Structure formats: C-alpha cells, structure tokens
C-alpha cells in the first residue's frame, strides 16, 4: 500500500511503514537537515522540503504521478503543545496564543481532504489532549469528521511496543468506513510483567568504549564543572541540588541532568541543545547514536547536519518500533 508522510522529519514514522513493505510515495518537512538525512538513507525517495503552508495539495498531487494514496501519516510540530514547553515558558498564555505551530494541523487536514486516503494517522504529544482546555484537540477531531472520516484517538506509551523508552503520544486515526480501527495490540500485561520491557542497558551497553567508531557516536566534550556534577548523579536519579557545593550550583537543572538506569527503560528522549540525559555509568550525556538506538533506529540510519540538529532529528522522531506496530495494525485492518 502507498503512504505519504507529512512533517516527516528524519523518517522514524516512514521507516516503520517501510519495514512492513509499504511504499512511501512522498515525504515533506521544512527542515533541510532532515531532508539531507532522509535522502542519505533512502536516496530514491521524493522529499519536498518547505513550509507545508506553501505546498498546495495540487503540488503534492503533481509529485504522486497519479498513484493512489492509501494512508497519510504525520506529526505536526509538537513543541507548542508540549507540557515541557509550557513549563519552560515564562508566559504560557502568550506562548499558546502566538505559537504558529499550534495551527499547522489545519494543513494536515487540507491534505487529507484533497488526497482522500482510506486512512490517516496523526501523531502528537500527550499534552495536546489538554492544551487550551482541550479545545484544540476537539477542533482537530471535528475537522476530520467534517471531511468524512470516522475519528478515534489513542494514548499509547512506546514502551509497550518494543521501545526501551517511556514515551506517551496521542494518535488520532480515521477511516472512511463506520468500522472502528482501534490501536496496535499489546500482547503482554506490561504493568504486571515489568521484566518484559526492553532496557537501556540492553540497547546501548555494547557502545560504551566504542565512541567515535560508529556514525553519530561522538560524545560531547563536557567541561570539568559538568563532569563533576555528573559524578554526583546516581544511576536512575537526578542532580541532588540540595547537596551541591556552591561552585557546582546553577539555577536550573533540566532533563539533561538526569542519569538513566541500565536496568529500566529510558526517560522520554527530549532533545536539548546538543544534549540528552546522562549515560547510566559513564560521566557524559548520551551520544546521538545511543539516543537513536533508544528510539529504535537501526545503526545503518545516519543523521546529517550539526550535532544540535542531529539531536532534534532523533528526539523528535516517532520511535521506529511504534511506527512499525501501527503499520502492521493498519495493514491488517485494510
């Protein structure tokens, strides 16, 4: 079956569908580094790089060559809806009002209306559910209903789908038939069988000591003060701010000052500026390659651009295994 991936980024969602033999006809994103990474890994792909508000459905159709589209997938930029973004803002109401990313979902809806696929799959952060008291979320669902789709939503944690990471995301899915689609099956009662989760140690342990020997496996050159701080963070814990000597204190310690536990799934991979959480036993932040493994990207997928861009490409992606679970599920439904 044929797929279009809108807001494709570096291709996590696309790759999950490719692994199940879907044909990705076209991908779009505004980020040129994402485009470079995507075409490096899948050189025969069509990738439209530009603002989706300036890519008309007619332009999109001209690249499809008359091919029928079965599924449109994508995740509009989510920082405007993110609870992490809200906490970081000094003026949340102003952020909500003026963040233009909050209305890009309308362009997704326009593309679905024009292309008319059998199914669409819309992915975003869990904060979308309650953003502006849920008004945006309800507007999104109603927009899809108005163009003829039966709409449902599912809040899923990637850890239940073979991803070594707790990452909750909301999926809005719709089809043109009355029958509900549901969501990918969870085969195990995960809350009861915690040992079934994949762990950080399982997926990145073999990379320790092999820094600079793999693509994107380049550690940050941390300063002495940060290394001294990292040494104080226990495995699975965060910076003990109340016990810091004065010379190590700073005003704010975010996600990048949390150390992962090798025996548990990771925290959500939130891309900071050139930084991810701290390695379970090494006194440095994760490399881009380690974060990519936690996002279940294969090692042969390489990320281009400066390091901060690589971090964003990996951190913003839909985990590949979760995307693949959706691909399997939709394949069965269709």
Compute how many other C-beta atoms are within 10 angstroms of the C-beta atom of residue 54: 9
Q: In which order are the strands placed within the sheet that holds 2-6?
A: 47-49, 23-29, 2-6, 71-74, 119-125, 168-175, 150-157
Angle at 82 between CA 296 and CA 168, to 5 degrees: 40
Token representation of residue 292: 């990519």
Token representation of residue 98: 């003026």
Nearest to 290 by CA among 229, 195, 197, 211: 211
Q: Give the active site residues.
A: 78
Residues paired with residue 74 on neighbouring β-strands, in sequence order: 6, 122
CA-to-CA separations, 77 to 100, 123, 146, in angstroms, rounded: 10, 10, 23
Give yes or no for a contact between 73 and 44, defined as CB atoms under 8 angstroms apart: no
Q: How far apart are CA 165 and CA 161, in angstroms?
A: 10
**What string of H, E and C letters represents the secondary structure of 69-131?**
CCEEEECCCCHHHCHHHHHHCCCHHHHHHHCHHHHCHHHHHHHHHHHCCCEEEEEEEHHHHCH
269 DSSP 8-state letter: -
């Amino acid at each position: 079956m044929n797929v279009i991936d809108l807001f494709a980024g570096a291709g996590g969602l696309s790759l999950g569908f490719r692994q199940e033999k879907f044909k990705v006809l076209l991908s779009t994103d505004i980020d040129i580094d994402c485009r470079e990474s995507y075409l490096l890994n899948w050189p025969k792909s069509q990738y439209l790089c530009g603002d989706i508000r300036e890519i008309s459905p007619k332009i999109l159709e001209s690249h499809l060559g008359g091919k029928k589209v079965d599924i449109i997938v994508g995740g509009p930029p989510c920082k405007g809806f993110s609870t992490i973004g809200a906490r970081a803002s000094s003026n949340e109401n102003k952020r909500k009002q003026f963040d233009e990313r909050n209305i890009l979902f309308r362009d997704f809806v326009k593309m679905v209306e024009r292309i008319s696929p059998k199914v669409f799959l819309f992915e975003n952060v869990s904060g979308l559910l309650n953003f502006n008291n849920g008004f945006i979320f309800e507007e999104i669902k109603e927009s899809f209903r108005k163009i003829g789709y039966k709409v449902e939503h599912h809040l899923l944690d990637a850890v239940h789908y073979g991803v070594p990471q707790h990452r909750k995301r909301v999926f809005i899915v719709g089809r043109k038939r009355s029958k509900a689609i549901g969501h990918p099956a969870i085969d195990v009662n995960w809350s009861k069988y915690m040992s079934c989760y994949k762990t950080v140690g399982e997926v990145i342990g073999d990379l320790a000591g092999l820094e600079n020997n793999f693509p994107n496996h380049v550690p940050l050159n941390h300063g002495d003060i940060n290394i001294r701080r990292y040494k104080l963070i226990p495995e699975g814990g965060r910076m003990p701010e109340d016990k810091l000597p004065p010379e190590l204190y700073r005003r704010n310690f975010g996600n990048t000052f949390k150390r992962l536990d090798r025996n548990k799934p990771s925290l959500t991979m939130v891309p900071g500026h050139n930084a991810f959480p701290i390695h379970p036993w090494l006194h440095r932040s994760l490399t881009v390659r380690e974060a990519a493994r936690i996002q279940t990207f294969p090692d042969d997928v390489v990320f281009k651009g400066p390091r901060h861009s690589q971090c964003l490409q990996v951190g913003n992606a839909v985990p590949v295994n979760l995307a693949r679970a959706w691909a399997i599920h939709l394949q069965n439904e269709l």
